[in-house]
């Protein structure tokens, strides 16, 4: 349990830093998405490197300390992210695409906060749990599902101008991410059914 606390706290720290970093990159360069393949800023590259390093770390921890059968989605997710982010980091291309992807980490802040609340034994009916639950679900739709939809649309519209290796990695990556995130969202809604019940109960009171 102590390691789980440590691991989730590190993940929360990563999500906070990279999501704020991604927003800061858009603040520095509002036209960051005007040329996804070639638009490059030192800040965007730094955030991309930091995030890639985190996913390599978390991937190795998942392999060392957990059963692969129980963490298959983490292994697959991190493998795809490391490959796609790694291409951007080392080629200095599609760095802006990585920054767009890191907008998903805004939601990850609340996903990890939810895990810490569960580890702390906080009741799903408590105010803090319900507040985090509302932010979790709303940011999941806005910053995860909508972001992935935009990224998929961009690849489809610009596939003719993307080199074949990058195109293959991008299309396969988005397919895997879509499946994983649909499963995660369904699991999140199912597990937080108690939170929904509490909200309904208080509405009728």
pLDDT, tens digit only, all 205 positions of the chain: 688 899 999 999 999 999 999 999 999 999 999 989 899 999 999 999 999 999 999 999 888 876 665 678 889 999 999 999 999 999 999 999 999 999 999 999 999 999 999 999 998 888 899 999 999 999 999 999 999 999 999 999 998 899 999 999 999 999 999 999 999 999 888 877 666 566 555 544 4
Q: Which two tokens stand for residue 52?
A: 């890639």
Neighbour count for residue 11 (Cβ, 10 Å):
20
H/E element, 178 = helix 164-191
93 alpha carbon, distance to own chain's centre: 20
Residue 205 is predicted with a pLDDT of 43
200 burial level (CB within 10 Å; 0-12, 13-18, 19+): exposed
Residue 52 DSSP label: H
Sign for the pseudo-dihedral over CA of 135, 195, 76, 62: positive
How far apart, in whole angstroms, are the C-alpha atoms of residue 87 and residue 81?
Answer: 10
Residue 193 is predicted with a pLDDT of 64
Nearest to 26 by CA among 85, 100, 82, 89: 100
pTM as predicted: 0.90
Sign for the pseudo-dihedral over CA of 47, 167, 82, 148: positive
């Amino acid at each position: 349990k102590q390691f789980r606390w440590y691991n989730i706290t590190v993940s929360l720290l990563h999500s906070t830093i990279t999501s704020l970093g991604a927003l800061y990159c858009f603040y520095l360069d509002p036209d960051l998405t005007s040329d996804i393949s070639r638009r490059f800023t030192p800040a965007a590259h730094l955030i991309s490197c930091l995030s890639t390093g985190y996913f390599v770390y978390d991937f190795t921890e998942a392999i060392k300390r957990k059963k692969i059968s129980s963490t298959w989605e983490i292994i697959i997710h991190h493998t795809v992210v490391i490959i796609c982010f790694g291409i951007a980091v080392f080629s200095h291309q599609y760095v802006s695409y990585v920054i767009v992807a890191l907008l998903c980490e805004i939601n990850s802040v609340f996903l990890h906060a939810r895990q810490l609340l569960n580890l702390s034994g906080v009741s799903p009916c408590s105010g803090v749990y319900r507040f985090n639950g509302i932010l979790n679900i709303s940011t999941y739709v806005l910053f995860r599902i909508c972001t992935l939809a935009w990224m998929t649309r961009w690849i489809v519209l610009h596939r003719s101008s993307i080199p074949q290796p990058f195109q293959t990695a991008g299309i396969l990556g988005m397919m895997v991410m879509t499946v994983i995130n649909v499963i995660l969202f369904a699991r999140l809604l199912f597990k937080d059914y108690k939170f929904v019940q509490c909200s309904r109960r208080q509405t009728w009171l």
